[in-house]
Amino acid sequence: MAAVAEVLGKVLVVDDDEVIRQLIAVNLNLEGFEVETATDGQDCLDRVREVKPDVITLDVMMPHLDGWSTAEKLRTEPDTSHIRVVLVTARAQDDDRRRGLGIGVDAYLTKPFDPAELIEVVRELAARG
């Protein structure tokens, strides 16, 4: 009988593009993470207290509530400020990176991203607890 793999942590994957959302979710799930998904920033904020993720991967360019605003809201709420946040975006300019660091995100990956790099970043952040 095979041993049950240890869950490495819980990740909330937030992206309005279903293909990218599923790509990230499948890769993290195969690596041993428990994964939930959200379709935009507001969906993330509505679900974050229920899901209780260790890490959130957050697209920047989304309708309704973008990743910047979502990350800011997560950082200002006492019960979500500790959650590790990875911005995943096509916006690779230095100003965008500085803005993310100013908000207090933990990592910044640019699209197209290497799934192995994403897994490594999420694994490291989840391990920090």
Q: Which CATH superfamily is domain 10-128 in?
A: Response regulator (3.40.50.2300)
Query: How much is the pLDDT for 129?
Result: 67
* Residues forming beta bridges with residue 55, ordered by sequence position: 11, 84
Q: Where are the domains of the chain?
A: 10-128
Q: What is the pLDDT along the chain (129 residues), one digit of tens a residue?
A: 444 456 789 999 999 999 999 999 999 999 999 999 999 999 999 999 999 999 999 999 998 899 999 999 999 999 999 999 999 988 777 887 788 888 999 999 988 889 999 999 999 999 986
Q: Helices in 1-129 by DSSP H: which ranges?
A: 18-31, 41-51, 67-76, 94-103, 115-128
Beta strand pairing status for 55-59 and 10-14? parallel
By C-alpha distance, which of 28, 76, 27, 92 is closest to 55? 28
Query: How much is the pLDDT for 101?
Result: 81
Query: How much is the pLDDT for 6?
Result: 63
* Pairwise CA distance, residues 107 & 122, whole Å: 9
Query: How much is the pLDDT for 5?
Result: 52
Query: How much is the pLDDT for 1?
Result: 43
Query: How much is the pLDDT for 78?
Result: 95
The whole model's pTM is what?
0.91
